[in-house]
Amino acid sequence: MLAVVALLAASCGSAGKPVDPAPVGNAAWPQPAHVGGPDATAGGGSDTSCNPLASLVPASSSTTVPDSSTMSDIKKRGKLIAGVDQTTYLFGFRNPTSGNLEGFDIDMVNAVAKAIFGSADGHVQFRAIPSSQREEVLKKHQVDIVVRTYSITCARKKDVEFSSVYYVAGQKILVPKESKAQKLSDLSGKRVCATKKSTSLAKIATDAAKPVPVSVDNWSDCLVMLQQGQVDAVSTDDTILAGMAAQDSTLEVRGEPLTQENYGIGVPKDRPDLVRYVNAVLDQIRGNGVWQDSYRRWVEARLGPASPPAPQYQ
């Protein structure tokens, strides 16, 4: 019995030889889903076969809903279905406190809903979509409109229709503050992130400096990859980059605009009456202060003062 106790005491008091853990290779952050490469035709920015900014003239200055129209069908349904973003701070994002979608683009949706129903409250069904699905959901009539930092191009107008321009942005770069890069041409051979089927991705893929395009589903994926060092920069519209910089003080928007991005509200190709109606709504909010109030709330502090762009009509 004493021998057993002595043996136990000896075993408890001996530290023994430490065991090495299993060897581990270089640790790396997991990448977001569906990370891809270049697409030089993304967004169709090289197609100049039309005047992309010329939209259908409003049928009336009034936003009264005509009988037997697309708008009356929406009114009977009780909901305006809108394809939006929920990941782009300042333009289309989910407020973590309230759970509500907010931002400049969301205000544009609510303006259209208010015109149709008298109030947007309870009359909007938001559908969060990646940028790569904007044309698809319109062509399949899964939504009535798409308001998602949606640049108007001739290539896109072959598949969907657009309202008049409601916002003008410009493509720049977002980099860590310690980066020496001041513009896209400084990023030769560096990994630069943009979303799939975006005009931004096309610009990166065709730039003479030959940066390495990295494509993702959502702009929030680009932000995460930049923060984790998986890409060297993000390049897209200054509006989107401003939202990223607002969330991370270690990042900075740089460069002169590489492009002019004209945002329009996307509408199915076979709904011209809805295009004209949306244009009437946009004409109203340009003049009654609603556009300016939304801009001041969401954008002005980051990008400075601006006025609503003047519409062009066919």
Residue 61 has which token pair? 């200055």
- Partnered with residue 82 across adjacent β-strands are 126, 145
Q: Where are the beta strands (DSSP E) in the chain?
A: 54-55, 80-84, 87-88, 92-94, 101-102, 124-128, 145-146, 160-162, 167-169, 171-176, 191-195, 212-216, 233-237, 251-254, 261-263, 266-268, 312-313
Residues 255 and 184: beta-carbon distance below 8 Å = yes
* pLDDT digit string (tens) for the chain, length 314 residues: 444 444 444 444 444 555 444 444 344 455 555 566 655 445 555 688 899 999 999 999 999 999 999 999 999 999 999 999 999 999 999 999 999 999 999 999 999 999 999 999 999 999 999 988 999 999 999 999 999 999 999 999 999 999 999 999 999 999 999 999 999 999 999 999 999 989 999 999 999 999 999 999 989 999 999 999 999 999 999 999 999 999 999 999 999 999 999 999 999 999 999 999 999 999 999 999 999 999 999 999 999 999 999 999 99
- Partnered with residue 214 across adjacent β-strands are 193
**The tokens 């909010």 sit on which residue?**
285
DSSP label at residue 190: S
